[in-house]
Amino acid sequence: MTTRETLLSLFEKNKGRYLSGEEIAEGLGVSRTAVWKAVKKLQKEGYNIDAVTNKGYCLSPDTDILSAEGIKEHLNDFYRSKAKIDVYRTVDSTNNICRQKANEGESSGYIAVASSQSSGRGRRGRTFYSPADTGVYVSFLLTPRDFQVEDIAKVTTISAVAVCMALEKMTDKKPSIKWVNDIFVDGRKVCGILSEASYDLEDSKLECVVVGIGLNLYPPKNGFPDALAETAGSVFDKPSQISRNKLVAEILTNFADLYLHENPLEYVEEYRKRSFVIGKDINVITPRSTKRAHALAINDDCSLQVRFEDGHEEALKSGEISIRVAE
C-alpha cells in the first residue's frame, strides 16, 4: 500500500485519538515529512484530520468518507484477506465496473463501491437515481465454476436479506422486502438490487454474476425526481452519524455468511420473515397483461406462489414479472 493508504488505515483504526507524527513515522517506516504530505493529501480529499502541535494528528470520529481502508477495518480477518475493494467518488455504474473487471480476469471477491453513479441501472432497463453523498452503491463479482441460472435468484434474495440485517443492526429501522428485490422502510423504497449474468455462449454456462446494491440513506438535496417522488424514500430524514464504511462492511459480511452457510436454505427463512407481500392481494404485471392475484408464500427457491382469480396457482420467478400491492 502507499503511504496515504497505510496512514488512512491507521487513522481508521484510531478515530478520535491523537497520534504523534513521530509515532506514525516510526510505525510506517517513513519520514515525518512523508507523513505530513500524506496528511495534507487526505485533508484535501475531505478527511477531517486535526493537527495540533505536541499532540499530533487525529481523524475526527464524525468523518464519513467511503474508503477501502475504512470498509476493511470493519471486516473480519478472513473476509478482509479475500476482498479486493475499489472505492470511487463517482462512476457510471458500479455494475459496469465489476463487469469490466471480470473481462480483465478478476474473480470472486472483487467489490466496487461508489458515492454516486451517473448511469445507475435498475431492473427492466430503468435507471437508479444515485446522487452524490446520499447513499451507497455497491457491486460485487461472483465467478464460481458451478454457477447455475437459478443461482441468480439466490444471490439477489441473499443480498436483500444482507441489507435488511445490516440496517436492523445499525439503525432502529425495520426494513421489509417487496418481492423480489426491493427493500422498503416506512412504506418507501430505499434500496434496489440488480443481478446481471454473463454467459459463455460456446459452453452455454454462466461465467459470472454481478450483484449491484443501491441504498438511499439520506434525501437528495433537491428531492427525488418527479417520477420517483411517490415511491422512493431514504433510511434517514437527514444526514446522521451512521458510518457508511461500517454499513458496507456489514452488508458484505452478511452476504458472505449467508452465501457460504452450511444450511443453504437459511437465507430463505430470513427472506420470508421480512416479506410484506405474503398474504396480500397483488397485481401481477407482465408486458402483455395485468392480473389480480393473492400472494400465498415464498417457496424454497424464493419464487412467489400466487393464486389468480380463476383459482389456478403459479410460482412466479425473478425476471418474469414485477408486482405491485393492489390498492
pLDDT along the chain (327 residues), means of 10: 89 92 92 94 92 93 90 91 92 94 92 89 67 90 78 89 97 94 93 86 75 94 84 89 92 93 86 93 86 93 93 82 62
Q: Which three cell numbers stand for residue 247?
A: 454499513
Q: What is the C-alpha separation between 7 and 19, in angstroms, rounded? A: 11
Domain 68-274: CATH architecture, name and number where available: 2-Layer Sandwich (3.30)
Residues in the chain, overall count: 327
- By the 8 A CB rule, do 199 and 206 touch? yes
| Chain-centre distance for alpha carbon 83 | 14
- By the 8 A CB rule, do 306 and 313 touch? yes
Q: What is the C-alpha separation between 210 and 115, in angstroms, rounded? A: 18
- The rounded radius of gyration (Å) of the Cα atoms in the chain is 22
Q: What is the C-alpha separation between 233 and 184, in angstroms, rounded? A: 8
Q: In this predicted structure, what is the pLDDT of residue 132?
A: 81
| pLDDT tens per residue across span 251-279 | 999 999 998 887 878 899 999 999 999 99
pTM of the predicted protein model: 0.89
Closest CA to 163 of 133, 193, 142, 201: 193
Please name the residues in contact with 29: beta carbons below 8 A apart, sequence gap of 6 or more.
none
Q: In this predicted structure, what is the pLDDT of residue 318?
A: 64
CATH of domain 3-59: 1.10.10.10
Q: In this predicted structure, what is the pLDDT of residue 160?
A: 96
Q: What is the C-alpha separation between 258 and 161, in angstroms, rounded? A: 9
Ordered by start, the domain boundaries in the chain are 3-59, 68-274, 281-325
Q: Which three cell numbers stand for residue 262?
A: 452450511
Do 3-59 and 281-325 have matching folds?
Answer: no
Q: What is the C-alpha separation between 79 and 186, in angstroms, rounded? A: 32
Q: In this predicted structure, what is the pLDDT of residue 152?
A: 81
CATH of domain 281-325: 2.30.30
